[in-house]
Amino acid sequence: MSSYAAHIATVQARFDAALTATGFDSAFIYAGQPRVAFLDDNPAPFKVNPLFKYWIPVTDSPKSAIFYERGARPVVFLFQPRDFWHAAVKIAPAEWQEHVELVVVDSLEKVTRYLGDKLKATAFLGEHFAEPVASWPVRAHNPDALIDHLHFHRAIKTDWEVENLRVANDRAAKAHLAAKDAFFAGKSELEIHHAYLAAINFRESELPYNSIVGLNEHGAILHYDVYETSAPRESRSFLIDAGATYRGYCADITRTYSREQSGFFAELVEAVDNAQQALLGEIEPGVDYYQLHVSQHLKIAQILSDFEFVRGSAESIYEQGFSSAFFPHGLGHFIGLQVHDVGGFLRNDRGDQFDRDPRHPFLRLLRPVEEGQVFTIEPGLYVVDQLLEAHANAKELNWQRIDELRPYGGVRIEDSIVVGKAGNNENLTRDAFARLEN
C-alpha cells in the first residue's frame, strides 16, 4: 500500500469515527472560494479549506467539494466552469484520483442535483458566505463537535503527511540560504525577500504566510513584514521567519544571522541556538508541551544572566517574569496543513479544552507530546521596549547591556519536529539544511 493510500484510509476512518460520534451520516467539505475586497471586485488570493486538502492534494480549485458518507467512497466534485475570463484549473493525473469518485462540474447546481435529498442530512464543512452554497438546506454548518473531533486526531500525522512536510522544508531551507546570501551581500529587506522567492520559483501567494524579513532593530518586531526597499547604511543583523508549501503542507523556519562572525551578537545567536538544541533533547512522548515551554524559558533566563542583561539566577529571572519580557511568545505550535495547525488546546476529541495559563497567554499548544505529532520549537530573545516598560524600575535589569542589544533587534531560531518513539525524533528543518550542504 502506498503512503497516500494509507493516508486516505486513515482520513476515512477518522471521518467515520467523527461522524458516528456526532450523529451525522455524511459531510460535505467545500474547498471555498475567493473573497473580494470591500467595495471592489478584486479578490484576495485563494486559500483552500484545510479539511479539503486533508483528503486530496488539490489547493487551487475554488468551488470544488468532497462529499463523504460513512463507509462509502468519497465523491470529489471538481469545479471547472466554462469561463473565458480566467485560465482553467489544470488537475494532472495523480494517485488520489484512484481512491475517489471524480465528478467534473461546471456549476454548483449540478452538485445539488447529484446529491438530491442527501444534502439535507449532511454537515457542511467550510465557508458558506456566498450563493448558492449559502442557501443550501444542509443539516448543519461547521458543527463544533464534528470539527473538534477531526481536529483532535489531525494532530497525529500520517507517513504521507510527513513526506510532504519534508519536501516543504527542503524548499524553505533552499530559499533561506538564498536569503542569507542576499543579507551578506548587503541587500535591502525587499531584495532579500525577492531572492527568497526566486530561489524556489514561488509567487508570494504560494507562501504559507507573510515572510518576516527583518534587518537590525526590525528583528525585535515579532511579525514584521514591511520590507524596506533601501538597504540600511549598516546591516548588523538579520532575522528571517519564512516558509514554503508542498501539496498544501507547510514549512515554517526561522534563522538569525550576525554580520560579524564574532563578538557580542554572534555569541548571542549561538547561545540561543544552543539553548534551542538542548531543549530538542527533552522532547519525548508523555512530556507536556507546557513543560517544554517552561524549560525553554529557564534556558533563555540563563542566557539573560550569562550575558548580563538581567542580574540573578535563571530561576529568579523566570519567577519574577523578566524572561517573558524578552521571550514573550509561545515556544511553538502544531504545523501541517496550516502553519498554526489546529487542536493545540484540545484535551480529547469531545472538545474539552485545557485551561489557558495567564502567565503564558500566547502559547498555542498545551497538549501532552505524542508520537506522530509535528510541532515547531522556536525560542526567542528580543528587546521590546513596550514589554520592558513594566520593569523600568527593576534593579535587576542592566539597561546599559540591553541598550547594546537594541540595534540588533533580537534572535529567534525555529525548527519543526516529528515526534518519534522514546525521543527518537526527526528534525525536519535541520535535516533539510543538512541535505543541501551535502
Is position 83 annotated in a ligand binding site? no
Residue 131 marked as a ligand binder: no
The closest of 323, 328, 329 to 309, measured between CA atoms, is 323
- Hey, which CATH number is domain 159-437, 3.30.365.10, 3.40.50.300, 3.90.230.10, 1.10.3720.10? 3.90.230.10
Cell representation of residue 153: 486526531
pTM above 0.85, yes or no: yes
CA atoms within 13 A on the CB side of 34: 13
Same fold across 3-155 and 159-437: no
Instruction: Consult the annotation and say whether 333 binds a ligand.
Output: yes
336 half-sphere exposure, CB direction, 13 A CA radius: 25
User: What fold does the segment set 3-155 form as a domain?
Assistant: Creatine Amidinohydrolase; Chain A, domain 1 (3.40.350)
Retrieve residue 267's grid coordinates: 555569541
- Taking only the tens place, the pLDDT of each residue in 96-153 is 999 999 999 999 999 999 999 999 999 999 999 999 999 999 999 999 999 999 999 9
At 82, is the pLDDT very low, low, confident or very high (cuts 50, 70, 90)? Answer: confident
Strands 101-105 and 75-79: parallel
The domain segmentation of the chain, as residue ranges, is 3-155, 159-437
Report the amino acid identity of residue 309. Answer: F
**For residue 351, which amino acid is it?**
G
Q: Is the confidence at residue 438, as pLDDT, over 80?
A: no
